[in-house]
């Protein structure tokens, strides 16, 4: 119920097409978070097969892949969501909005902590790729199709290739 209330609040704040509370069950971002919470439970209990099972099932149902090792804050809003990937060591703050085809991933060159840390109140535009063990500050806006390869300070708009 807590997840429903948090997601409802996020939708009300971010989606002007939202008309009533029942619509929430039609949002793939909501179901991606449900599957994430289930897989995260098993991940924290070190039942990695079942964590992966629920992650894979969620990916097939929603077309959104959230690794159960990722740490996600309150009121994450994944709008449309198709093609979103959130990596294992990613940390996401509160009140973050992610649009479709966003990747919060690794560069393929690191071991250990290899995915981004995303601050609070961040908006990541569709198609953006945020890669590597980097920090995205609070109140950042990342433009559509941007490629982010280095830290982005607070209160910044990042567009294009940011390296």
* CA–CA distances in Å: residue 33 to residues 4, 89, 106, 135: 10, 17, 21, 23
What is the pTM assigned to this prediction? 0.93
Note down pLDDT in tens along the chain; length 163 residues. Answer: 787 788 888 888 888 888 888 888 888 999 999 999 999 999 999 999 999 999 999 999 999 999 999 999 999 999 988 999 999 999 999 999 999 999 999 998 888 999 999 999 999 999 999 999 999 999 999 999 999 999 999 999 999 998 8
Interatomic CA distance for residues 27 and 44, integer angstroms:
26
Dihedral sign (CA 105, 31, 141, 90): negative
For domain 2-162, give its CATH number from 1.10.10.1100, 3.40.50.880, 3.40.50.150, 2.160.10.10.
2.160.10.10
User: Any idea where the domains of the chain sit in the sequence?
Assistant: 2-162
Give the residues across from 92 on adjacent strands.
Answer: 72, 118
* CA–CA distances in Å: residue 160 to residues 32, 41, 153: 28, 37, 16
Tell which residue, 149, 79, 141, 136, has the closest CA to residue 109: 149
């Amino acid at each position: 119920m807590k997840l429903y209330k948090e997601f409802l609040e996020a939708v009300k704040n971010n989606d002007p097409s939202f008309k009533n509370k029942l619509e929430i069950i039609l949002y793939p971002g909501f179901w991606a978070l449900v599957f994430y919470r289930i897989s995260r439970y098993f991940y924290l209990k070190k039942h990695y097969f079942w964590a992966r099972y629920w992650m894979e099932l969620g990916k097939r149902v929603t077309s959104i892949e959230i690794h159960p090792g990722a740490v996600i804050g309150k009121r994450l809003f994944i709008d449309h969501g198709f093609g979103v990937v959130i990596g294992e060591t990613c940390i996401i703050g509160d009140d973050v909005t992610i649009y479709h085809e966003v990747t919060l991933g690794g560069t393929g060159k690191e071991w250990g902590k290899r995915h981004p840390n995303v601050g609070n109140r961040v908006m990541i535009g569709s198609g953006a790729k945020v890669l590597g063990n980097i920090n995205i500050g609070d109140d950042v806006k990342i433009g559509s199709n941007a490629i982010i390869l280095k830290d982005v300070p607070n209160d910044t708009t990042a567009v294009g290739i940011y390296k």
